[in-house]
């Protein structure tokens, strides 16, 4: 038996633990075949098959025929009637809300622009309205929702759901984001930094799905990283792990919102990039820079590429510290594709010579600009206990005992 399966105990508690292990594993990945479930849980295929059968009978999971490597297989997902969840991503200039189920499938979504320097009270009001609106669209109500995950572009103290570094998003300082939204909607709310949520999404559903150790680098109005070690996001003591936008890169440097000088954000943050384009292009928004770069504007492409090089140098250092199998790059600026990625990859690789046989792999986010909001949805789902209303019988006892 796998060390992840239950330790010796009574047959019924062992069976209960194995059933929970199967449900938690399906929940984590959204959907797995029975063979993949056996590999991921360490349970025997016979045990997985028995547990899936009883969970199916209890309406906790659904199964569907699929193929894997040309063979017929059964895909196991949690049943939609187990509940819906909401993912919310609040950025510096926009927000996105998605409604999804336990397969991590998005069934409705909506984006909204936000004013510069927006405040928590008005933005959270909009989130609450959007949630109700999306539920109406799919004929559901708040009673169908198990919880909300919320991502914000600043470090979060996960024990309080509050922004943990003052001054980075002034209108959100000292606000209990989780409490405010929870009171308004009457639902559990889980809050995290958006780069951490991108890391959750990409490491379970996206480009780093096959790896235990990975980095997710989010390049948008600011830069942040999610550090995944052994399959878990490393948040650090105060929730600021991965806040690479505030690593010092210039000495002396420009003053940063965080109170220090010469942070990476002062070199590659939106303000810096847009400032560099002001003489030639006038006042632009970050999305304009992405659009123009993709339309072939040489000057915009050059500014994006320079940002890629500066970020790549920091990623090289982080790569040495964490030794990930892959670095996944997402965020708005990653929509410029290789214009950002190539110089970032070259700078990251040039600096990492500790193991020349394993060059640092740098790839684009598989979930694109939705990684953060899908991660927020995943956070809500993985934070929710699935009710296991399962009747037992002797056959089930016997099969579980063979694990
Ligand atoms: Zn800073």
Q: Which CATH number fits the domain that encloses residue 151?
A: 3.30.420.40
Tell me the pLDDT band of 403, cut-offs 50, 70 and 90.
very low
User: What's the confidence (pLDDT) of residue 402?
Assistant: 42
- Contact status, residue 174 vs residue 204, Cβ threshold 8 Å: no
CA of 288 relative to ligand 1 center, distance in Å: 25
Q: How confident is the model at residue 395 (pLDDT cuts 50, 70, 90)?
A: very low
Token pair, residue 236, equals 């650090």
Rounded CA separation 381/25 (Å): 12
**DSSP code for 78:** E
3 found inside a domain: no
- The answer on 243 and 181 residing in a single domain is no
Distance 262 CA to ligand 1 centre (A): 7
Model confidence at 132, pLDDT cuts 50, 70, 90, reads very high
In this structure, the answer to whether residues 235 and 274 fall within a common structural domain is yes
Give residue 333 CA to ligand 1 midpoint distance, Å: 19
Whole-number Å distance, alpha carbon 137 to ligand 1 midpoint, is 41
272 falls within a domain: yes
Domain identity same for 252 and 123: no
Measured between alpha carbons, how far is 375 from 145 in angstroms, rounded to an integer? Answer: 17
Grade residue 13 by pLDDT with cuts at 50, 70 and 90: confident
Rounded to the nearest whole angstrom, what is the distance from the C-alpha of residue 189 to the centroid of ligand 1? 28
- Nearest-CA neighbor of 6 among 59, 42, 45, 58? 42
Residues 16 and 100 both lie in one domain: no
Q: Is residue 65 part of a domain?
A: no
298 Cα–ligand 1 center, Å: 29
- Residues 32, 156 within the same domain: no
Mean of pLDDT values over 97-112: 89
Pick from 61, 3, 50, 40: nearest CA to 402: 50
pLDDT at 10 over 80: no
Ligand 1: centre distance to CA 227 (Å): 19
* Cα-to-centroid distance, 244 and ligand 1 (Å): 9
225 and 307 both lie in a single domain: yes
Q: Are residues 221 and 334 in the same domain?
A: yes
Asked whether residue 235 carries a pLDDT value surpassing 60, the answer given is: yes
Report the Cα 6 to chain-centroid distance in Å: 28
Domain annotation covers residue 110: yes
C-beta separation of 55 from 16 below 8 A? no
For residue 227, pLDDT beyond 60: yes
The pLDDT value given to residue 9: 52
**Residue 324, Cβ density class (10 Å: 0-12 exposed, 13-18 middle, ≥19 buried):** buried
Give 163 Cα–ligand 1 centroid separation in angstroms: 15
| Residue 324 forms part of a structural domain | yes
Could you tell me if residue 319 is inside a domain? yes
342 C-alpha to center of ligand 1: Å?
25
Would you place residue 134 in the very low, low, confident or very high pLDDT band (cuts 50, 70, 90)?
very high
Comparison of pLDDT for 107 and 244, the residue scoring more: 244
- Number of structural domains in the chain: 3
User: Is the Cβ–Cβ distance between 390 and 55 less than 8 Å?
Assistant: yes
CB 22 within 8 A of CB 43: yes
Q: Please report, for residues 40, 99, 118, the alpha-carbon distance to residue 400 in angstroms, rounded to integers and kept in the order given.
A: 17, 35, 54
Is the predicted pLDDT of residue 205 greater than 60, yes or no?
yes
Q: How far is the CA of 245 from the centre of ligand 1 (A)?
A: 6
Whether the predicted pLDDT of 191 surpasses 90: yes
Contacts of residue 145, defined as CB under 8 A and 6 or more positions apart, other chains included, come to 83, 84, 85, 86, 131, 135, 185, 187
By residue range, what is the domain housing residue 37? 11-60+390-401
322 and 275 in a single domain? The answer is yes
- Round to whole Å and give the CA distance between 114 and 13: 50
Question: How far does the centroid of ligand 1 lie from the alpha carbon of residue 246, in Å?
Answer: 4
Report the separation in Å between the CA atom of 311 and the middle of ligand 1, taken as the mean of its atom positions.
14
CA of 267 to the centre of ligand 1 (A): 10
Classify the C-alpha dihedral 342-347-352-357 as positive or negative: positive
Tell me, yes or no, whether 262 lies in a domain.
yes
- The chain-wide mean pLDDT, for the chain, equals 89
Cα distance between residue 381 and residue 187, in whole Å: 13
Q: In terms of domains, do 229 and 101 share one?
A: no
Residue 279 gets which letter from DSSP? H
Of residues 310, 198, 304, 314, the one with CA closest to residue 247: 314
**190 lies in the same domain as 211:** no
Residue tagged 């659904």 (tokens): 62
- The Cα 170–Cα 174 span in angstroms is 9
Which CATH number do you get for residue 26? 1.10.10
Ligand 1 centre from 209 Cα, in Å? 31
Averaged pLDDT for residues 19-33: 87
Give the per-residue pLDDT at 352: 55
pLDDT band at 225 (very low <50, low <70, confident <90, very high): very high
Domain assignment of residue 74, yes or no: no
Q: What is the whole-number distance in angstroms between the Cα of residue 257 and the centre of ligand 1? A: 6
Q: Are residues 191 and 212 in the same domain?
A: no
Classify residue 142 as left (phi > 0), alpha (psi -120 to 50) or beta: alpha
Rounded Cα distance between 4 and 366, Å, is 29
Task: State how far the Cα of 25 lies from the Cα of 19, in Å rounded to an integer.
Answer: 10
Distance between Cα 193 and ligand 1 center (Å): 16
Q: How many CB atoms lie within 10 A of CB 160?
A: 14
What's the mean pLDDT in 268-292?
A: 96
Q: Give the number of other CB atoms < 10 A from CB of residue 354.
A: 10
Same domain, 29 and 142: no
Beta bridge partners of 228: 214, 233
Handedness of CA 177, 183, 184, 189 (dihedral sign): positive
């Amino acid at each position: 038996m796998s060390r992840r399966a239950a330790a010796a105990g009574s047959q019924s508690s062992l069976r209960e633990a194995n059933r929970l292990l199967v449900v938690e594993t399906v929940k984590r990945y959204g959907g797995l075949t029975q063979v993949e479930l056996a590999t991921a849980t360490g349970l025997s295929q016979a045990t997985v098959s028995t547990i899936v059968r009883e969970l199916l009978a209890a309406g906790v999971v659904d199964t569907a025929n699929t193929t894997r490597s040309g063979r017929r297989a059964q895909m196991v997902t949690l049943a939609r009637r187990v509940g819906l969840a909401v993912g919310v991503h609040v950025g510096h200039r926009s927000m996105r809300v998605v409604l999804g189920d336990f397969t991590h499938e998005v069934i409705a979504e909506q984006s909204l622009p936000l004013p510069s320097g927006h405040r928590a009270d008005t933005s959270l009001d909009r989130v609450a309205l959007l949630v109700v609106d999306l539920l109406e669209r799919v004929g559901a109500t708040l009673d169908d929702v198990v919880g909300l995950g919320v991502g914000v572009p600043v470090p979060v103290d996960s024990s309080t759901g509050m922004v943990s570094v003052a001054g980075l998003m002034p209108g959100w300082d000292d606000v209990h984001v989780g409490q405010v939204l929870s009171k308004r909607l009457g639902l559990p709310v889980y809050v995290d930094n958006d780069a951490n949520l991108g890391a959750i999404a990409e490491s379970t559903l996206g480009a780093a799905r096959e790896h235990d150790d990975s980095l997710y680098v989010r390049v948008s109005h600011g830069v942040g990283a999610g550090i995944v070690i052994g399959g878990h996001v490393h948040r650090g003591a105060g929730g600021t792990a991965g806040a690479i936008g505030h690593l010092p890169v210039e000495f002396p440097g420009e003053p940063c919102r965080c109170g220090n000088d010469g942070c990476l954000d002062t070199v590659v943050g939106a303000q810096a990039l847009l400032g560099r384009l002001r003489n030639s292009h006038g006042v632009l928004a970050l999305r304009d820079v992405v659009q123009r770069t993709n339309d072939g504007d040489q000057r915009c492409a050059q500014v994006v590429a320079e940002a890629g090089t500066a970020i790549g140098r920091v990623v090289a250092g982080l790569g040495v510290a964490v030794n990930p199998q892959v670095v996944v790059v997402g965020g708005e600026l990653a929509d410029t594709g290789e214009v950002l990625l190539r110089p970032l990859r070259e700078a990251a690789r040039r600096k990492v010579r500790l193991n020349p046989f394993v060059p640092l792999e740098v790839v684009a986010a598989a979930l694109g600009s939705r990684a953060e909001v899908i991660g927020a949805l995943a956070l809500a789902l993985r934070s929710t206990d699935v009710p296991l209303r399962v009747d037992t019988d002797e056959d089930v006892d016997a099969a579980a005992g063979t694990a």
